[in-house]
Structure 1
Amino acid sequence: MKRDRVLARAVPLALSFALAVPLVGLGQGTASAATDYQAEDAAISQGTVATNHTGYTGTGFVDYTNIKGSYVEFTVSATAAGTSALTLRFANGTAVDRPMDISVNGAVVQSAVSFPATADWNTWTTKTLNVPLTAGSNKVRATATTADGGPNLDRVSLAAAADTQAPTRPGQPSCPDIGEDGLTLAWGASTDNVAVAAYDLYEHGNKIGEAPGSSTSKALTGLTPNTTYNLTVIARDAAGNTSAASPVVDCTTETSSDTTAPTEPGTLSATDITANSVGLGWGASTDDRAVVAYDVRSDTTVYKTVTGGTTTTLTGLACNSPYSLNVVARDAAGNVSAASNTVTFTTKACATDGGVPSSVASLSTGWTIPWGTYWMPDGKTALVTERDDFRVWKVTKDGARTQVGTVPEAVTTNGEGGLLGVAADPKWETNHYVYFMHTASEGNRVVRMTYDGTKLTDYKILLQGIKKNRYHNGGRLAFGPDGYLYVSTGEAQTPDLAQDKNSLNGKILRMTTDGKAAPGNPFGNYVYSLGHRNPQGLAFDRNGRLWEAEFGNSSKDELNLIKPGANYGWPTCEGTCGVSGMTNPKATWNVNEASPSGIAIVRNVVYMASLRGERLWRIPINGDNESVGTPTAYYVGTYGRLRTVTKVPGADQLWLSTTNCDNNGGAADGADKIFRVNIS
């Protein structure tokens, strides 16, 4: 232990030793396996090797003499020049800090590093620093900077430091070679402090391919003729760091030389009609090359695509509703046959205690990408955000709206970023706080403003450091029954972040109203659940349980029941899988049927707004169990891209908003609407 008087100078020990474990490559966000060096085996000046405390490793530890300049020097080896993570294991049983300078090969690289008090001399803790090393042998010295000397030093551990620097943004993409069913995508090279390992290629936020880091072009095949593809490129290094998305390029494949459409399918018939499904069968079509798919449609709205056979069961139909369906055949060139005959039927009566949508009416018009909707605690008005204009509106129950302000420092990403979710403090009538999630210059933020019922003031950042990208920004806010704020974050087109418990991305976060991690969170930080790709729907049921909807990539969209600490799989799983430690969704959809955004719960039924699917899904919760019944769809193709659905306080009623003005919908500014849906 430390003495109160200065000890006699100890005889220096000059020992050099080899690495016990070789340095290995880095994984995402972590350092390589560390190599331990025992302090008792190092060169010691004005200190002694001691064993009079417990908990040390090796054969002892170094007790520094209480004098400025006492040191321990380690001889270490590095396979290559670069930054390494140096971890010192120490104990300090006094009440005073014992700072030390850390030098490498005679040069101080970290000065006056704090080594604070521990509970006692038997309590060991660690301090990790990044230090530069040269290839080969290095002298690393820890020198006391005060008359109190250094702490008791057990060992140091050395590992290559994690690479946290992202590659630069790739240059403007182009399409130098375009064919009927493929194209070559080229881009400007990215640079990285280590090396670019790969380029990920995205079409409207969905990954469609990748190329090695040494390449700046990629041939994309299996495309549809005469179709425009909205393409971006993201660079990735070996540590999993990803760049910002490149600028966008729109490339249109050539019109196919195949202009012959398939023949009209044979007679369509409908059988086995239930409240939510129908069996369909039709005669095969022929084509000069090949029929690749049949589309089951209502007028021209596709309900289902069948790629094998001429029969199917169409599920997800609304109960007690009339349908008129036909079938068309398609070939690889996109040629579409004439429609088959039309079958008309009415699904059977509804059998549910949760109610069904009974009427829909336009409530408010003139919107441009209304993204977040949140009812004020008094139940009289709602706040609605517009994503790309950063405007916030007060909307009354009859649809009248008044702008109350804009959110400062918000920026767009030319994709899915901007002004996103909004939530009102449950105690708003006394504190006047409202909360927003928005994209800013450095990333995504959760912020708080004061709202007096007529205007917004007092912008305050509560949480930042949430990585942004063109797509996958999450953005939904919701207050739980526990009074804490729940935040959905996307993985910013960096899938590995979803599995990193220390990252804010690809998560549902839980925080206090003053911006701190909520007490009781499973990992001691902001993270409540992990393994999410792009979660956007949050809603609490009558039992206080949290349900969440999220976008899949190319396979399955999900509805999840969220539990603290649970891992929902991305990128290991998309939809249901059998991987140990991953939590499966309660329901899944093909991405062309859903692409979900907001959700709301009315009478124990989840309602899910769908963008690409252009429909409102109804998913009944099975009583108080952790399962759901058969999903059914409403308004398929009727109103376009449905973004947010919100329960109206004190009524069995929903507000349903569109975002047809976004870059996927292409409608003119002001074309979006909010609808009122009655549930009965």
Structure 2
Amino acid sequence: MRRVPLRPARRVPVCAALLLAVSCAPAEGGSTTGPAPGAPTGVTADAGSATSVHVMWNAAGTGVDVYEVYRGTTKVSEVPAAQHMVDVTRLQPSTPYVFTVRARNADGRIGPPSREARARTPASVAADRSAPSRPERAAGRVVDGRAVQLSWAAARDERGVRSYAVEQGGVRIHTVGGGQTATVVTGLRPGTRYTFTVRAQDAAGNLSPASTPVRLTTPGAGDRRGTAPTGFTAASRHSAGSYYLDLAWDPPHVDGVITEYQIRLDGGTDSSLVWGGTPPPGRAHHSLYAGREAGEVHRVRLRARLPDGTWGGFSVERTVTTGRRPG
């Protein structure tokens, strides 16, 4: 039998395959739509009256054009990217509600929904036309170029104060629960004069007279005083043949939920600490791997991503030596 020699398989040069892939790319001037925004974090919902709920959230990063607020599956509000709160009105008394927030970019791409925030409106109060008393002793201080802290004395109402409304220039910009007499207002502009007042509201929606004005001027851009974690400590710990840096700190007092921190080790290495949901209240704790050698010196500090999406100030820097107890 005559054998027919087999021909070797033809090889396609790698450069030809790469050239083909490049030639399939969109021509210059084609679509440049970027990825959809991420899900907003730190979403909270608090009933302001028997017919309204105040919804707040953290910024979802850059590239956001608007936020869409949903009650269940129904979109009930749409606000610009600079706004991270809204009052949802025309609700029913004594009713539970579920809210989510979604971010949308300028190309119309919508990100995933946030975690659900639940609130229940209180019962309506029949024939209640008596407004709460004026909140007294209103005061404030600057936190940084984008935030201020306000405080006031509790107002009085015969049937109880349900919430407090913070106004700026006569426009409501924030709401807190009736048991709260201080808050931090974020999302402000650096180098700007503001005038704030506070009103108390009862379950029937009656508003008190406004408090005395609180006038504050935010410092220029770049000033992050008051936004750094405080009480920062770092200690070395040995476990299973390795050393760890046990970190602890008090989160900065801001209006919203902090879900992310940036940890800077030895002046150059950054790592992120992100809570998947709402972080535990009070003092925060985290362990950082530091290798297997004793006697190594490390410098560590950290900062928080604020609810407005910007980074706060760094904490004090701590120096830790592995295998050595803190002095």
Rg comparison, structure with higher value: 1
Q: TM-score, normalised by structure 2?
A: 0.34
Higher relative contact order (CA 8 A, sep 6+): 2
